[in-house]
Amino acid sequence: MTEVFDSLRKEIEAESLDSADAVDSFRIRYLSKKQGKITDLMKGIKDVSPGERGTYGQGVNELKTLANAKIKDAKTKLGSSASDQRDIDLSLPGRAPKMGSLHPITQTRHLINRVFESYGFTVEEGPEIEDDWHNFSALNFPADHPARDMQDTFFIEPTDLEHGGIMLRTHTSPVQIRTMKDGEPPFRIIAPGRVYRNESISYKSYCLFHQVEGLFVDEGVTMADLKQILHAFAQTIFGDDVQMRFRPSFFPFTEPSAEVDIWWNDESLPGGGRWLEILGCGMVHPNVLEAVDIDSEKYTGYAFGMGIDRIAMLRYGIDDIRILFENDERFLDQFA
């Protein structure tokens, strides 16, 4: 019995495992369940006398340990397991890593930021949960204004006309109030961010959207300054030949107020296109300046607000706002 073990040990030690195929053949020859030499010795333990089974079993285990160690050492030297190498087809082309991309809303927001930053505006941010004073009262909203109604605003805490309440902000104008309250004129800022309104969801409206508001307060600011900066912005976003129009409108926090439309070419429509509103704007109402302790006799200013989502839809030809919030990779991959 000892001679058999010694002979098999020398045979195992003499094996040259210099390739993945050699390693696999070695494993089959000595350790496979059907024809392995060490496996056969293990099966023969039942024929050994009870007194010698301990020594016999120890010898078989030593051979098995030796064979496994030789396989492990060979695989380490070869750099990978034989089975792994057999499964690799080195003729296949490599797989390029999948690249992520910025969301179209994020891309549009960054573009808008860069445009206004080039004209000296700084970017300011504020909380998305606001109180009544910052969201409404300081912006000259009367106590009975429809925007305070539950149909428009998501209130977090109960509200009433006398005490107000806590809500998800309905615009980023509260950032303007906070900036003016904490500083001294002049101010030249934009305030991008998410806003929330309790609206019916459709292809053109959503309960969550993104907004950029701008504010410029200084001595001698006029409506002409407002029109100039918005025209420069529209040319950057939509091209030098963009057509714009200002329509009189009403906002509690500006006076006079206007809405700005651009002409969108569309040959499928009568007249070859249509006017599309992109933002609202106006001169900052004196009541707003007085609410933040700024002398409205000395300082004037303009403000504007635009929807990032709407501008993204116009830039990329997206006809349903809901797809911007669905995280569909088939859609988002187009913007890589």
Rounded Cα gap, residues 126 and 179, in angstroms: 9
CA angle (269, 275, 279) in 5-degree steps:
145
Statement: residue 16 has pLDDT above 60: yes
Token output for 161? 């006309």
3-state secondary structure of 100: coil
22 and 163 belong to one structural domain? no
Q: What is the tally of structural domains in the chain?
A: 2
Three-point CA angle 206, 212, 215, nearest 5°: 140
Amino acid at 19: S
Structure tokens at 144: 């009975």
Contact present, 248 and 236 (Cβ < 8 Å): no
Neighbours of 53 (CB within 10 A): 13
Which two structure tokens, joined as six digits, stand for 285? 């109402």
Residue type at position 145: H
Is residue 164 domain-shared with residue 296, that is, in the same domain? yes
- Choice between 158 and 134, residue whose per-residue pLDDT is larger: 134
Q: Is residue 281 part of a domain?
A: yes
* Separation CA 290–CA 140 (nearest Å): 10
Rounded CA-CA distance 285/179 in Å is: 16
Residues 108 and 81 in one domain: no
Are 155 and 75 in a shared domain?
A: no
Report the pLDDT value the prediction gives residue 36, as an integer from 0 to 100: 85
Give yes or no: residues 186 and 276 share one domain: yes
Residues 154 and 229 in one domain: yes
pLDDT average, residue stretch 206-229: 95
pLDDT, one tens digit per residue, over 19-78 is 888 888 888 888 888 778 888 888 888 788 877 878 888 888 888 898 889 888 888 888
Whether 141 and 30 share a structural domain: no
- Are 38 and 109 in the same domain? no
Residues of the chain with pLDDT > 70: what percent? 93
Model pTM? 0.68
* Alpha carbon distance 217, 288 (integer Å): 12
Are 241 and 173 found together in one domain? yes
Q: Domain range holding 54?
A: 2-86
pLDDT at 82 (0 to 100): 44
Q: pLDDT tens across 81-137, in order? A: 444 455 677 788 888 887 778 999 999 999 999 999 999 999 999 999 999 999 999
> Are the C-beta atoms of 231 and 260 separated by less than 8 Å?
no
